[in-house]
Amino acid sequence: MTQNKNTLHQFLENFIFEGKRTVVQSLQTDSRKSLPIFLNEFWTSKQRQAHSIHEISYRACFKPQLPKFFIERLTAPGDIVYDPFTGRGTTIIEAALLGRNVIANDINPLSSLLCKPRLRPPSIEAIEERLYSIYSSKKKSDIDLSMFFHKKTLSEILGLQEYFLQKKKKDFLDEWIQMTATNRLTGHSKGFFSVYTLPPNQALSAEKQRKINIERNQQPEYRDTKKLILKKTKQLQKDLTETDRAALQQISAKARFFSADARKTKAIPDSSVQLTVTSPPFLDVVQYADDNWLRCWFNGIDAEAIGKKITMSKKLEDWCAVMQSVFHELYRITKARGYVAFEVGEVRSGKIRLEEFVVELGIASGFFCEGIMINQQNFTKTANIWGVHNNAKGTNTNRIVIFQKP
């Protein structure tokens, strides 16, 4: 049920999670307006309590509980939910499970490849039959990947690659297998095609992988790619009910996927989106193209060309200039009384408070800022909320700036 400004403010202010009440602070903006900051643990930190269909690895993605929190409270079934930086599709998949229509956009074509198939999950039996009709390749790889894969495993990977790249029109079975194979390329367990390497959301260079192999005294062993694809398929679908399948398939028929600059999405109509839940690239924290070079190779995508298109501004003023244009576009496509939940995490150990800059960007584009919601997990201390330190680098808190279009 859609909530108005006062109701949303009251809801966040009075929110209680596992006995913990929201702490309300205030932020003085450049425009001399005082905005509320809502601090609490608004959803569980346990990733596994989310639906299994989400479990596709991707660098710098938020938990499904985050978009769910906003979708359930700020939209109704049938409303359009949008993400201009879709990534692995967390917002899109969660919205579809909840019966909302979806629009996805990401300049990286890997995004739709990883997201779209999960809106129409095939049966395991159909996947198995299609999978075993794809044969290993007798050709050699165009690049040396012997530091990652056993010779026989690589032949199977090349067979899959040839199948997908040569097929002019892929159906939903092909798309599911391609997505799952892409996700299983490299990782740090025997559930992946590769020898032990970094987690699957970050591909090492060939040179660094050679060093790991020497340090660990390891060499690639044979991994049965088809068995691993089926295993991952079963993991992804273990929570799927017939109701889920029906809901996803219904949304899939209307779902729209774009691979455009988030500042220029002309294909999305004016005043059509009820809610945007997104998390943009953060300065130079994550090197998306570098992390995904092997996935891009497998899918015939030019990683270097994609990397140049992705906003990786090292200077804060450059990042703000790009995001200002994004907010202008979000204002255009958002319905009157519609919302934007803009998550910026924690950047550079809290030294840069992106949320404060985002507030001004949204207001400058015409939005009303409802306030800042900070989701803090058990290890986070309220007294240290603006610069969390838990002996680990990276994003420690979710910092979401909430806007509404008048």
| Residue pLDDT, tens place only, 275-311 | 999 999 887 656 666 778 899 999 999 988 887 777 6
Domain of residue 359, CATH code: 3.40.50.150
Please determine, for residue 1, whether its predicted confidence score (pLDDT) is greater than 50. no
Domain containing 323 equals 45-116+242-286+310-372+382-404
Final residue of a structural domain among 207, 236, 265: 236
Residue pLDDT, tens place only, 247-272: 999 999 999 999 999 999 999 999 99
For residue 378, what pLDDT is reported? Answer: 54
User: Could you tell me which of 95, 1, 7, 29 has the C-alpha nearest to residue 353?
Assistant: 29
The answer to whether residues 268 and 358 belong to one domain is yes
Does residue 391 carry a pLDDT above 60? no
111 and 133 assigned to the same domain: no
pLDDT of residue 289: 65
Confirm if 279 and 60 have CB atoms less than 8 A apart: yes
Report yes or no on 26 lying in a domain.
Answer: no
Does 315 or 153 have the greater pLDDT score?
153
- At residue 57, the pLDDT reads 81
One domain, residues 110 and 159: no
372 with 355: CB under 8 angstroms?
yes
Q: Answer yes or no: is 281 within a domain.
A: yes
Average pLDDT taken over every residue of the chain: 88
CA distance 110 to 88: 8
Domain identity same for 197 and 271: no
- Give CA–CA dist 120/220, Å, rounded: 34
- CB-based contacts of 333: which residues, under 8 Å, 6+ apart? 82, 265, 268, 269, 270, 271, 272, 273
* Same-domain check for residues 153 and 210: yes
Residue range 323-349: mean pLDDT, rounded: 92
| CA 334 centroid distance within chain | 21
Q: CA 186 to CA 282: how far, in whole Å?
A: 25
Residues 223 and 91 in one domain: no
395: pLDDT strictly greater than 90? no
The two structure tokens encoding residue 81 = 């939910």
Q: Indicate the pTM of the whole model.
A: 0.90
pLDDT mean over 152-179? 96
- Dig out the tokens for 7 from the structure: 């109701």
Classify residue 184: in a domain, yes or no: yes
Strands (E), 158-313: 256-258, 273-278
Q: Is residue 104 part of a domain?
A: yes
Residues in CB range of 206: below 8 A, 6 or more apart: 143, 144, 145, 147, 148
Task: State how far the Cα of 133 lies from the Cα of 144, in Å rounded to an integer.
Answer: 26
Conformational region of residue 347, where left means phi above 0, alpha means psi within -120 to 50, and beta covers everything else:
beta
Provide the total of helices (H) and of strands (E) in the chain, helices listed first.
15, 11
Whether the predicted pLDDT of 330 surpasses 50 = yes
Question: By percentage, how much of the chain surpasses pLDDT 90?
Answer: 68
Tell me how far apart the terminal alpha carbons of the chain are, to the nearest angstrom.
Answer: 18
Q: Are residues 365 and 226 in the same domain?
A: no
Average pLDDT of the residues in 343-361: 82
**Domain match, 392 and 257 both:** yes
User: Burial, 377: exposed, middle or buried (Cβ in 10 Å; 0-12, 13-18, 19+)?
Assistant: middle
Same domain, 326 and 226: no
Q: How far apart are CA 309 and CA 299, in angstroms?
A: 18
Q: Which among 210, 236, 262 is the end of a domain? A: 236
Statement to judge: residues 157 and 184 lie in one domain: yes
pLDDT band at 3 (very low <50, low <70, confident <90, very high): very low
The beta strands (E) that lie in 235-367 are given as: 256-258, 273-278, 334-343
Condensed to tens digits (0 to 9), the pLDDT of residues 172-205 reads 999 999 999 999 999 999 999 999 998 766 788 8
Based on the fold, state whether residues 87 and 229 are members of the same structural domain.
no
pLDDT of residue 288: 61
In a domain, 58, yes or no: yes
Number of domains in the chain: 2
3-state secondary structure of 42: coil
Amino acid symbol at 40: N
